Amino acid sequence: MIKVVKFGGSSLADANQFQKVANIIKSDTSRRYVVASAPGKRNPHDEKVTDLLLQCYKLAKDKRDIAPTFEKIENRYRDIIRDLRMDYSMEDEFAGIKTALLHHASSDYIASRGEYLNAKLLAHYLELPFIDAEDCIYFDEKGQWDAEETNRELEELLGMHEYAVIPGFYGVNPDGSIRTFSRGGSDITGSIVAAGANADIYENWTDVSGMLMADPRVVENPRPIAEITYKELRELSYMGASVMHEDAIFPVRKAQIPINIRNTNDPAAPGTMIVPKAKSNTVDTVITGVAGKKGITAIHVEKEMMNSEVGFGKKVLEVLENYNVSFEHLPSGIDTMSVLVANKAIEEFKGAITADMVKKVNPDSITLVENLALIAIVGRGMVNTEGTAARVFKALAEANVNVRMIDQGSSEQNIIVAVDQKNYATSINAIYHEFVK
């Protein structure tokens, strides 16, 4: 059994957290490859090391003094070393990064140093080998992650090490320079290493006990999700539910490796299992989760006999394409077609887009309804259960919410409704409580 374990920034924010991480790793010998983030926030008012590094990069670029900000970074590591009573010094490393900052190193290189230093420190603390991500995570000429090259190198390197600590968040370009993933990208490294190690499981350790059925800022104390499929996760994260970097799913999904979201501060909790195929399609709640996003505009286009006009939809979408606007959903009726887009995406060109649509398809009417919210009710259990849609609409009606639009995905694993944005929280609560008693 091989487990790849990734610890997020809050899991490695200080000495106390380092101790928890060490206990977790040592309690299970199959936890062989450890991917580390940079130290995150120790409390809500704290600063992440990655943010501080990027501040230093900007200061150096503007030829301003980096010393006070850089010292904050140094002190984060020094404090951990001191509090763990380690006989270890990172002063040479600090000096090297400081010199790089003053000699115009790239922002990716600078941002990556948080993970580099933290993984080195963790490797030393755990007495495990350190493998640098620049020696095994490759990007291609276009800046895309190079799966083939990476897997080849990882296989070789991991084959030589039974255990290792690897920094998250970055890899190397073909020219040897450092490139980072987008923010939160250590999740991606963890997934890549899990795939490269052919792991049985990818454990992603964070500061929550897995995914919740709804956003805890909207629903009070929502239930955790024990098991969720990759597909359901994709639908919920598209709607804004997040536990991990979105791109972290792909490497393990391809290799069919399950992900277990775990809580460093509550290691006894089983967390959420994200699996290719669920053990059972009967979920006791029928739905797996409910999530939503605000800030949606619906463009309703109406024209009699629209359905017999070949290429009508294409022309409407072409107008959006010309303004580089992507659409979120496309519910249609007999003589109506609605295109749902983000408010932000069309804000600037509302007038021009409607005018162009009038020119292109000569509709009977075209109306814009702004400030809608989309709500997705997601669950594999819906396929085998009758009356789910009826329950959703009953719950919304009882909460006095007017449903502006409905869309059911062909997978039958989701129902999407549009409501006025002001009804967002009421709707999510009404749906959640209809299914979770």
Residue nearest to ligand ASP (CB): 186
CB of 220 to ligand ASP, least distance (A): 29
Q: Which stretch binds ligand ASP (CB under 6 A): 95-103, 134-142, 155-163, 181-189?
A: 181-189
* β 3-7/336-342 pair status: unpaired
Decide if 346 contacts 354 (C-beta within 8 A). no
Candidates 3, 4, 7, 9; binder of ligand ASP (CB under 6 A) is 9
Contact between 114 and ligand ASP (CB under 6 A)? yes
- Contact residue for ligand ASP among 167, 185, 210, 271 (CB under 6 A): 185
Q: Which is nearer to ligand ASP, 115 or 215 (CB)?
A: 115
Do the beta carbons of residue 148 and residue 115 sit within 8 Å? no
Find the binder of ligand ASP among 38, 154, 261, 373 (CB under 6 A): 38
CB of 105 to ligand ASP, least distance (A): 17
Classify each residue of 78-107 as buried b or exposed e, where b means 16 or more C-beta atoms within 10 Å of its C-beta.
Answer: eebbeebeeeeebeebbeebbebbeeebee
Which of 169, 202, 230, 435 touches ligand ASP by CB under 6 A?
169
Q: Is 168 in the site for ligand ASP (CB under 6 A)?
A: yes
Q: Which of 184, 210, 251, 379 touches ligand ASP by CB under 6 A?
A: 184
Does residue 191 belong to the site contacting ligand ASP (CB under 6 A)? no
* Residue 251 lies near ligand ASP (rule: CB under 6 A): no
Q: Does 48 bind ligand ASP (CB under 6 A)?
A: yes
Q: Which of 17, 37, 69, 206 binds ligand ASP (CB under 6 A)?
A: 37
* Of 28, 39, 38, 40, nearest in space to 4 by CA: 28
Is the Cβ of residue 9 or residue 363 nearer to ligand ASP in the bound state?
Answer: 9
* Contact status: 186 vs ligand ASP (CB under 6 A): yes
Q: CB-wise, 69 or 288, nearer to ligand ASP?
A: 69
Q: How far is the CB of 73 from ligand ASP (least distance, A)?
A: 12
- Looking at beta carbons only, is 6 or 303 nearer to ligand ASP? 6
- 395 binds ligand ASP, rule: CB under 6 A: no
- Of 248 and 373, the one with the shorter C-beta distance to ligand ASP is 248
Please state the closest distance from residue 295 (CB atom) to ligand ASP, in A.
24
Q: How far is the CB of 286 from ligand ASP (least distance, A)?
A: 34
418 makes contact with ligand ASP (CB under 6 A): no
What is the nearest approach in angstroms of ligand ASP to the Cβ of residue 58? 16
Taking the complex as a whole, the smallest distance from the CB of residue 170 to ligand ASP amounts, in Å, to 9
Site for ligand ASP in 326-385 (CB under 6 A): none
Residues binding ligand ASP: number (CB under 6 A): 13
> Given the rule CB under 6 A, which of 180-188, 266-274, 296-304, 325-333 is the region that contacts ligand ASP?
180-188
Q: Which of 50, 288, 338, 413 binds ligand ASP (CB under 6 A)?
A: 50
Binding to ligand ASP by residue 171, rule CB under 6 A?
no
For residue 407, which phi and psi values (nearest 5 degrees)? Answer: -150, 125
Nearer to ligand ASP, 264 or 423 (CB): 264
**Which H, E and C letters describe the chain, residue by residue?**
CCEEEEECHHHHCCHHHHHHHHHHHHCCCCEEEEEECCCCCCCCCCCCHHHHHHHHHHHHHCCCCCHHHHHHHHHHHHHHHHHCCCCCCCHHHHHHHHHHHHCCCCHHHHHHHHHHHHHHHHHHHHCCCECCHHHCCEECCCCCECHHHHHHHHHHHHHHCCCEEEECCEEECCCCCEEECCCCCHHHHHHHHHHHCCCCEEEEEECCCCCECCCCCCCCCCCECCEEEHHHHHHHHHCCCCCCCHHHHHHHHHCCCCEEEEECCCCCCCCEEEECCCCCCCCCCCCCEEEEEEEEEEEEEECCCHHHCCCHHHHHHHHHHHCCCCCCECCECCCEEEEEEEHHHHHHHHHHHHHHHHHHHCCCEEEEEEEEEEEEEECHHHCCCCCHHHHHHHHHHHCCCCEEEEEECCCCCEEEEEEEHHHHHHHHHHHHHHHCC
Task: List interacting residues with ligand ASP (CB under 6 A).
Answer: 9, 37-38, 48, 50, 114, 168-169, 183-187
